Amino acid sequence: MHWSACYIWVCLWGALLSIQSHAHEHPSELTTKYDSLKQVYRSASSVESRADALYALTRLYWRTSHDSVVRFAQESLTLSEAAGYTHGIANALNALSYVAERQGRYADALPMRQRSLAAYQAVGDKAGVAWCYHSLGSINNYQGNFDRALEYHFAAMRLREEIGDTRGLCWSLNNIADVYNSQHLPDDGLEYGLKSLTLSRSIGLQDSECSALVGIAISYKLRRDYDQALTYSEQALELSNIINDKRYADLALNNLGEIYALRGENDKALKFHFRALEIRESLGVRLYVAQSLVHIGGVYFAMQDYDNALRYGRKGLELAQEVGGRSEIKDACWILAAIYSAKKDFQSAWQYQQKFIALKDSLISIEMQKNIASLQSKLEREKQQRQIEMLKKETENQDLVRNSLIGGVVLVSLIALLVANGYRQKQRKNQALTALNQALAQERLIAQAERNAAQTANAFKSELLSIAAHDLKNPLQSIMGFAALIEEKNRGNPEVELMTNAITRASTRMLNLISGLLQSAAIESGKFELNKRDTSVSQLLELVVEQNHAQAEQKHQQFICDIEPNLFANIDAERMRDVFDNLISNAIKYSPTGKTIYVEMKRNTGIRRPGTDAINTLPSSDSCILISIRDEGQGLTDDDKKKLFGKFQRLSARPTSGESSTGLGLSIVKQLVELHGGRVWAESAGKDQGTTFFVELAAKKTSDSDSRYIQRASA
């Protein structure tokens, strides 16, 4: 590159850094920077330098004028495409996609963002790739593709950690919090929001700090802690005014309007919603304008001002339909149905109610897993409560029997001393004892009836769950088949491939959940049969480790194995492979990138039992096999240990790369191991201290020829 071009490039990067450090300066200062960048553009000696200067101008107006961003980016794109300047094309598409995303035009933003990603990858710009992942995650979040959104945001976070991009890491944390809030998981949202707030303040990144404050307020709002939600929203509004950022002022105002509406303070809610509407109209974000109009209609409805409620509700619905905002259309239909019902126009109310129900049904599938988990948890609590009550009654009955026996001994002694009244007293006591025995017999019958009723109810629950899960498998498999067919017929279309991949991932996740439910229900019902044979457990464990190598390599993890050969047990190899696969895949899933997983198998010559530090040496060194799988992950808290093997239990640890989990794996592991007469437990020194899972099986002395089954089972 010519020396003058090098000089221009240095000047340009200095201007860019200055823009990022002073993105919210006084307008006169921005004018000075604009003039400086225009001078760089005019003096540039190459197309590449001019394109870069134009991109610097887009960054100057990034937060303040979308029209200016589009104008400079389009000019930069034209120059870059004509000159074949790939990095310039990536930057220009980045800017154009950003504006489309901010204006709610996701159908336009997505293909531009994908082109920008491909260009950044072609020139090896990791920071640019991370921002594209960041944006694709946000677009998928807006569209309700939450699993896909988390995948992109975690990928961006890992890349930013790799290149030391602390500023970008703040934004990744904010976006992950946003996705969790969108799924109504406020505890997770709050965790990542607070991390971003701390990091943003430590480096003085005020716009990220403002974004974190908005997200934290939303988390508290979802938790119904309205006082905290108001506090953080007011901080966000104050900071947005300091840095002169309309977007965050809009979000803070909208938050305040929603919170005051939830508190029933409708006058305040209306004031904040109108202020948010004014900003949204000035920014030209039509989707958010529609959202504000619907919110205002809802507040007027709560105030019983039905005419204004109807006017704003209709305007919100019309605009939402124009921009394709499905959630906003649904909310508008609900408001209009309620308004027409209050106005006694039941025909119109019914029409909007039907539209609302149709849209709600199409959006409700993301709640299915949470509802299943909630139902299962409720049934488990009821089962445990019945068992506690039955044990309490049995204990009372045993105390009554013991006391009766003591009373009998006393009675015999009294009869011996009171011979004169012996016959009469004996007759009276015998009658009392007979009555007591009859009462005890009746109590036992009642207790047995309650026990039978509990068992019947539990069996009915398991059977009902099994039938429901079984009936869901066929339509899910059809969905996966049609998704594969659509992908095959549209090979080369990135948008279709992205959507079909999302369908396949979501369907696979649901199918795994259903398969787990069916397996668990079969075990509980007693209809689950093991096909046990003498099997080389050593070869089986080695096979499972090998099958999980690819998954571990994706996260740059390694296995260190110490597996004693020729250890045999009488087991169902297929089911025990499920046990080992679940424990090893969990170690991968919950361990950070670059960690080590230790897999060991030994004869049990003296192991530490769970819950004690004592060493228990068994009579024979061949009596048991001990398998241990140790990770360097997030560890277990005391609360985690109590819930570890329960169904749908939510532990403190989270998958480190956004992987999904059904919440059934460890429960099924425990059931399968115990069906084999073995035991499973976990040990951890605490949070972030790693976890070791142990499986203990009865060993069997078996000749080498009996290893044939493991070879067939692994084929």
Burial per residue of 638-650, b for 16 or more beta-carbon CB atoms within 10 angstroms, e otherwise: eebbebbbbbbbb
What does the mean pLDDT of the chain come to? 77
Q: What is the mean pLDDT of residues 567-582?
A: 90
For residues 272 and 538, what is the distance between their CA atoms, to the nearest angstrom?
A: 67
- Which letter does DSSP use for residue 365 in this model? G
Helices (H), 164-285: 166-182, 186-203, 206-222, 226-242, 246-262, 266-283
Task: Specify the DSSP class assigned to residue 634.
Answer: -
Q: Is the pLDDT of residue 274 over 90?
A: yes
CB 119 within 8 A of CB 87: yes
In this structure, what are the phi and psi dihedrals at residue 65, rounded to the nearest 5 degrees?
-150, 100
Structural tokens at position 143: 């569209």
Domain-wise residue ranges, the chain: 1-124, 366-525, 533-713
Q: CA-CA distance, 309 to 342, in Å (whole number)? A: 11
Range 563-586 average pLDDT: 90
Average pLDDT of the segment spanning 53-69: 81
pLDDT over 70 for what percent of the chain? 68
* pLDDT of the residue at 204: 93
pLDDT score of 89 more than 80: yes
pLDDT of amino acid 24? 46
User: Which of the two residues, 251 and 20, has the higher pLDDT score?
Assistant: 251
Q: How far is CA 504 from CA 148, 430, 487, 533, in A?
A: 11, 75, 10, 36
The total number of residues written for the chain in this structure: 715
For residue 84 the two structure tokens come to 């074949």
Question: What are the beta bridge partners of residue 305?
Answer: none
What is the predicted pLDDT for the residue at 460?
Answer: 47
pLDDT in tens, 446-471: 666 566 655 555 554 555 555 555 55
Give me the helix-helix angle, 326-342 and 346-363, nearest 10°: 150
* pLDDT over 50 (residue 559): yes
Q: What's the pLDDT band for 367 if we cut at 50, 70, 90?
A: very low
Residue 410 has pLDDT above 50, yes or no: no
Q: Which CATH architecture has domain 1-124?
A: Alpha Horseshoe (1.25)
Q: Is the pLDDT of residue 611 over 60?
A: no
The confidence score (pLDDT) of residue 124 equals 93
Cα–Cα dist 35/48, whole Å: 20
Residue 371: CA count within 13 A, CB half-sphere: 7
Give per-residue pLDDT as tens, 279-293.
888 877 788 888 899
Identify the bridge partners of residue 624 per DSSP, sorted by sequence position.
Answer: 698
Residue range 52-71: mean pLDDT, rounded = 82
Specify the fold of 533-713.
Heat Shock Protein 90 (3.30.565)
Distance CA 326, CA 314 (A): 15
Question: What residue type is 642 in one-letter code?
Answer: K
Is residue 605 within 8 A of residue 664, CB to CB? The reply is no
Burial class of residue 94 (count of CB atoms within 10 Å of its CB; 0-12, 13-18, 19+): buried
Whether 381 has a pLDDT exceeding 60, the answer reads no
Which helix H or strand E contains 389, and what residues bound it?
A: helix 368-417
Give Cα separations from 342 to 335, 360, 596, 704 (angstroms): 11, 22, 64, 81
**What is residue 15's predicted lDDT score, i.e. its pLDDT?**
38
Going from the C-alpha of 694 to that of each of 231, 463, 508, 599, 630, the distances in angstroms are 47, 31, 29, 10, 9
Q: What is the pLDDT of residues 631-685, one digit of tens each?
A: 998 888 888 888 788 776 667 677 877 666 666 778 888 988 988 889 999 999 8
pLDDT at 516: 62
SS (H, E, C) 533-547: EEEEHHHHHHHHHHH
Question: Which range has the worst mean pLDDT, 393-402, 407-416, 592-601?
Answer: 407-416
Q: Is the pLDDT of residue 154 over 90?
A: yes
Enter the DSSP assignment of 600: E
